Amino acid sequence: MPLDPDYLEYPRRRYGMDHDRYDWSMLTERKPVQWPHGKRLALWVNVAVQYFPLNQQGKPFPPVGGMTTAYPDLRHYTLREYGNRVGIYRFLKAFDRYGIKPTFAVSARLAERYPYLIRRLAERGDEIISHGWHMDAPHYGGQDRGDESGLIRRSLETLREATGQPVAGWLSPSKSQSMDTPDLLAENGVRYMCDWINDDMPYPFRTSAGDMVAMPLSTELEDRFIVQANLHSEGEYADQVMDAFDYLYAESEAQGGRMLALSLHPWVLGQPHRIGRLEEALEYITGHEGVWSASAGDICTAWQEAQA
């Protein structure tokens, strides 16, 4: 049977996009960005400090990177714990060695379970953003708005109390959202979110509670995605990161500042047979003039100032 003609009708269909969350534009047509001190490329290294419950419910979908076998899936649970007990400290040494200013996206439940780790990160003075309640507490279409609002509020309040920081950034578990999520984030004092990955640069984002900033955190350059989902080697991971850097660095010479966003997981690249490849990539990137390693919040602020 032919489709009803109304099936193809959408009242907001128009050139560019079908929503009003942000204005459509080509990256090459935007105002060139100048990073602080004349730097050409902003390096955002985002570390996911996650808590995966052993009694995972997987509703309405299993968390990305979560448990995969019948309870108790100790094989995967203890690997994630390895990242928070061992791998992350290899990260910290590498960051300090190459002058990297990381951002840590932390599950609020982990802040309760690993207070010593949160103290360590807070004492470093690095920015901490919210990674939701835990990895098995997603945000999704059809979720009760009141329930989601409470989940966001509890996640932020717990992390703010544990870190002593304002916690103005947000990365949802599995980058999952409902139609209400951006509005609820803005209502709870979130200044920027990292779930939408449809750009190479920050961009303004509208919510019912005021404007915020979308900070695209690349999935294509995420260690877990490259190594585990795509089944590439750690050497291929380093090659892809350096290739991305070369392209964006060259682009920045002609089109203004660019941003390279790297999403890291201590339980993936914090392994002894992989950490060297991360160090290789960081050494290569920071060996170039014009690279500004900064927290997500500082990059967001500098981008906003460049729009004025």
Architecture per CATH, domain 37-307, reads as: Alpha-Beta Barrel (3.20)
Q: How confident is the model at residue 153, as a pLDDT? A: 98
Mark out the alpha helices in 71-216 (DSSP H runs). Answer: 74-82, 88-98, 108-113, 115-124, 145-163, 181-187
- What tens-digit pLDDT sequence spans the chain (308 residues)? 788 888 778 777 778 888 899 999 999 999 999 999 999 999 999 999 999 999 999 999 999 999 999 999 999 999 999 999 999 999 999 999 999 999 999 999 999 999 999 999 999 999 999 999 999 999 999 999 999 999 999 999 999 999 999 999 999 999 999 999 999 999 999 999 999 999 999 999 999 999 999 999 999 999 999 999 999 999 999 999 999 999 999 999 999 999 999 999 999 999 999 999 999 999 999 999 999 999 999 999 999 999 98
pLDDT at 195: 98
The per-residue b/e assignment along 30-62, b for 16 or more CB within 10 angstroms, e otherwise, is: eeebebeeebbbbbbbbbbbbbbbeebeeeeeb
Q: Coil, strand, or helix at residue 292?
A: strand
| 51: amino acid identity, one letter | Y
Rounded Cα–Cα distance for residues 151 and 180 (Å): 13
SS3 45: strand
Helix and strand totals (H; E) in the chain: 11, 9
* Pairwise CA distance, residues 216 & 218, whole Å: 6
Domain boundaries of the chain, sorted by first residue: 37-307
